[in-house]
Amino acid sequence: MFEVLVADKLENHRHAWVSVFAPLVLISIVSIAACIWAVKHDRSFELELFCSVNLLQFIFIALRLDEYLHWPWEIVFVPAWILLCVSVVAVLYSIIFAGLLLRMPDVNPDRRRTSMNSAIGYTCLVAPLLIFLITLASKLNGNTSATYTSVVSPLYISYATLLLMSFTTKRANQWWFGLRKDLCQFLLGVCPLLQEYANISYSIPHLEDSRAGLPQPPTDPAVVTSEKRDVVASSRRLEHRVVVPALSLEVPD
């Protein structure tokens, strides 16, 4: 919806930017409730967290493009600056932690390698993103004559790093939609009627006819008689089995 509205706005100029960003604002508001629910039920919420923290950023950009606000773009990007500052602190922490692990001789080499790769990956992810945001704000304010291709090029580095890191991370939840169970089991639990229809056996007529026309292999009489004897013995055991009543009635004296 957002992409369609953006394309229509750029081609025909029929909508305001506030209405164009309305789907993103709505998703961000819903994501806040989804994050609260995920925290209470111990579920993963990466995408919901990304949408919820950018709520103010979407509102500021829409108001600035419609000229309701006349702030410089550095001030418009204040929510993004805050997120990047937190990311820079996390990157510095990962670099310091990786350096400390390298100086500890009793640490597992695999753990050292993992921490070092994480520090390098987060650095290559956050640093180009910070450069992109600085150059974009400068370009929108008219302080530089750089092309948008050169402005967006650091963002490609961040995307490539994020793509490489996604191949090495472990999945937090192996089930779909954070259900912690198989999707079929969840659907059967939500819709009990599906259990009745799923337990019905069926047969294909043309396959049965083709099997009936095939010659049956010869059977050994001794095997048949032994099977019949086992069936008769098991039925006799079932007949002589004592059944405990489900309800005992006590007669008073």
pLDDT surpasses 80 at 44: no
Q: What is the pLDDT of residue 224?
A: 43
Q: What is the pLDDT of residues 174-215, one digit of tens each?
A: 666 666 677 777 777 777 777 666 655 555 555 555 555 555
Q: Which of 52, 51, 69, 72 is nearest to 60 (CA)?
A: 69
The amino acid present at 46, given as its one-letter code, is E
How many structural domains is the chain composed of? 2
User: For residue 6, what are the domain limits?
Assistant: 1-69
Question: End of a domain among 17, 43, 69?
Answer: 69
Q: What is the pLDDT of residues 75-98, one digit of tens each?
A: 999 999 998 999 899 999 989 988
* 109 shares a domain with 31: no
Confidence of residue 245 (pLDDT cuts 50, 70, 90): low
Distance CA 20, CA 127 (A): 30
The amino acid present at 227, given as its one-letter code, is E
* 51 shares a domain with 90: no
* 50 shares a domain with 85: no
pLDDT surpasses 70 at 164: yes
Domain assignment of residue 142, yes or no: yes
* 113 shares a domain with 95: yes
Average pLDDT of span 140-159: 88
Distance CA 60, CA 32 (A): 18
* 96 shares a domain with 15: no
DSSP 49-75: HHHHHTHHHHHHHHHHHTTS----HHH
The amino acid present at 73, given as its one-letter code, is W
